[in-house]
Structure 1
Amino acid sequence: MKAMILAAGRGNRMRPLTDHTPKPLLEAAGKPLIVYHIERLAAAGFRDLIINHAHLGERIEAALGDGADFGVRIRYSAEAQALETGGGIFKALPLLGPAPFLVVNGDVWTDCALTDLKLDADDLAHLILVDNPPHHPTGDFALANGRVYPEGSPRYTFSGLGLYRPELFDGCSAGAFPLAPLLRNAMLAGRVGGRRHAGRWFDIGTPERLGELDRLLGRQ
């Protein structure tokens, strides 16, 4: 299975840190955020990675190269302008191929195990959900009996980690568009599974949250 790391965001809430450094290369405990993802993916057996980028993307390619230093093969999907999550994945589909693939947001950190993720035969997506953080108290989706719904309770926050089939993007056109509407349509069709991750998860959206992660990892 291939994996994609979403790394094209501008990181406006992280400014001025991201004015000269792409967000995925910001460091926590002396290591770039994106390297934590690459190392965990490699440890879980993923060997083919696709990374999209836009803002200062050439610095990401220069820092990571072809992935050989991490025991993986990295290919890049460059975006002249960030295409949002849905558009970015859609553009990368030729690199991802016809089989299901894993996608992880480049601006999260989690200890969620990547070796036991499962996509049911009829599902278009399988999402990892987490308890709602203080900055997102209403959550994104409901979860019940291993199925994910656009409405209902209890509600959880989408972690940014999911498995997808390329068919989720059938009918889409090139350009910028969000992922959430595609997921909601698939949920209404009963084709999205998921589970709750009760472990650690950080949405690294502000310098303060980056500082929290830096302190946590620095103590380990």
Structure 2
Amino acid sequence: MILAAGRGERMRPLTDHTPKPLLPVGGKALIVWHIERLRAAGFTELVINHAHLGHRLEEALGDGSAFGVRIAWSPEATAFETAGGIRHALPLLGDEPFVVINGDVFCDADFAALRAAAESLRAEAALAHLLLVDNPEHHPEGDFRLATGGRVSANGAPRLTFSGLGAYHPALFASLPDNTPAKLAPLLRDAMAAGKVFGQHHTGRWIDVGTPERLAELDCQLASAG
């Protein structure tokens, strides 16, 4: 699942007429980078949610056939936030663990490894597997601690930042009502307290493309890389 329902307030005025995942960077829409990398890792069934200017996303990406995937759309009348959006899409996602990616990050993570992590959740009796990254300048305090053995904790130090990429068991969202906004962090903290969240440290490229300045910087980097 690619999360694409956010309003993109910090990215205004660029997002007044274009949903943030469709903003161009390196010659293609930000969300297209995700789709192409997911396809290369063997993902062919995608779910994308949307709210703000959602019709623009559907017009641009269609059913996904142009990218070698099949896209199922999960529209939201108003954005349900991360956990609420995933809960609303559960009928499309099915009963097996799945991978979720924030539509407004740029990352060179190994999506095939994340897929393997999703497949291992049942065997580990776990509810989530998170990709954590070094703390960026705009979020120096981090989010969670990655302990020995790969378990993730809400407490302790040193802390890393949650990348917005993770694998989840549908049971993590079972208690949420549908059509209702809900944040992901409280669910994760409860699961961490029960020892049911694992993770890994990604040391490659990761950028939270949350402002016009970061978008322009990434665009220059990709242009320079050819």
- Normalising by structure 2, report the TM-score: 0.95
Asked whether 1:49 is paired with 2:54, we answer no
Alignment partner, residue 166 of structure 1: 170
Number of aligned pairs? 217
* Alignment partners' CA distance in 2, 1:124 and 1:186: 7
Alignment partner, residue 141 of structure 1: 144
Asked whether 1:64 is paired with 2:61, we answer yes
Q: Please report the RMSD computed on the Cα atoms of aligned residues, expressed in angstroms.
A: 0.7
Cα shift at 1:29:
1.5
Q: Which amino acid aligns with 2:219?
A: D
Candidates 67, 72, 77, aligned match of 1:75 = 72
Asked whether 1:197 is paired with 2:202, we answer yes
Contact 2:87 2:174 in 1 (8 A): no
Give a deviation string over 1:118-161, Cα, whole Å, max 9, x none. Answer: 14421100000000000000001111121100011110000000
Q: Which amino acid aligns with 1:153?
A: A
Q: Which amino acid aligns with 1:7?
A: A
Gaps of at least 5 residues in structure 2 are: none
* Alignment partners' CA distance in 2, 1:22 and 1:36: 15
* Alignment partners' CA distance in 1, 2:183 and 2:152: 18
Alignment partner, residue 17 of structure 2: 20
Candidates 129, 142, 158, aligned match of 1:154 = 158
* Alignment partners' CA distance in 2, 1:6 and 1:98: 19
Asked whether 1:123 is paired with 2:111, we answer no
* Alignment partners' CA distance in 2, 1:10 and 1:169: 23
Give a deviation string over 1:102-128, Cα, whole Å, max 9, x none. Answer: 000000000011111214421100000
* Alignment partners' CA distance in 1, 2:82 and 2:112: 23
Q: Which amino acid aligns with 1:80?
A: A
Give a deviation string over 1:5-37, Cα, whole Å, max 9, x none. Answer: 000000000000000001010010121000000
SS at match of 1:115: helix
* Alignment partners' CA distance in 1, 2:104 and 2:77: 20
SS at match of 1:138: coil
